[in-house]
Amino acid sequence: MFPTRVALLSALVLFCFSPALSQRPGPQFWRNGDCEPFEPRTRLEMMDRIQGDVIIKGFTRITTVEVRGVRIDAVEMRLVAKSAFRYKGIVVSLRESQQVGDNQQRINESRAFIDYDEIDALLNAIDVASRVDETATKLVGFEARYRTSGDLELAVFRQTRSGNAVTLSTGICDRVTAALSLDEFAKVKAMIQEAKGRLDEIK
C-alpha cells in the first residue's frame, strides 16, 4: 500500500511541476548585470577578473597623438603569487556623449582588451581596411570590418561620394562607437604602434 501511495504522489508532483520545468531558461552565457561573457576572451581580461590575489598593473597612456573619444594604453598585468602569470597588451577605451535631456548629456565609456600577440593582426587589419574602396565590390556600397577577441570592432565604409568613414566600437550590450575620418584612423594606428613599442621595451 505504501509504495503505491509514493508512486501516486510522485506522479502528481511531476504532473504539477512539469510545465514549470519545461519553461526553465537554458544556460546563461552572458552576465545579466554587466553584460560580460562568463569566460574571458583574452588573457588580459582573465587577469583583470582574478579575485583573492594581488595583481600588479602597469600602464602607459599614449598621448603623443590624440584622437577625440579614443584612449589607448600599453598595459602589463602580473600576479604577485605566481610570476609565470604575466601578460601584456593594450587597452582601447572609447567615450561618447549622449543627449538625455534638454541641457543634459550622459558620458558612455567602454573598453576592449587586446593581448600582445593580437596587436600585429590588428595593425594589419587597419592597413587592409584603410585601402578598401569601391573597387572591392561591383555593388554600390562597401564595408570592411574586423573584430578582435575582446570585442574591439573597426569598420571602414563609404560615407559620401567624396570619401570613406571609419567607426570603432567596443562593448557587447551597451556599445560605444567613435566615428573617425581616415586621417584619424591613421592616428589610431600610430597610437597602437607606439603602445606596442612601449611593450617591446619590457623585458
pLDDT in tens, 53-96: 998 999 999 999 999 999 999 999 998 887 778 899 999 999 88
Q: Report helix, strand or coil for 186.
A: helix
> Which has the closest alpha carbon to 36: 151, 152, 122, 153?
151
Predicted model pTM: 0.77
> From residue 202, how far is each of 8, 58, 116, 196 by CA, in Å?
71, 11, 12, 10
Instruction: Compute the distance between CA of residue 203 and CA of residue 128 in angstroms, rounded to an integer.
Output: 31
Strands (E), the chain: 55-61, 70-79, 86-99, 105-115, 143-147, 153-160, 163-170, 176-180
Instruction: Compute the distance between CA of residue 35 and CA of residue 48 in angstroms, rounded to an integer.
Output: 16
Residue partners of 24: CB distance under 8 A and separation at least 6: none
- pLDDT tens for each residue of 12-54: 444 444 444 344 443 333 343 456 666 788 999 988 888 889 9
> Which has the closest alpha carbon to 34: 122, 111, 147?
111
Dig out the grid coordinates for 198 from the structure: 612601449
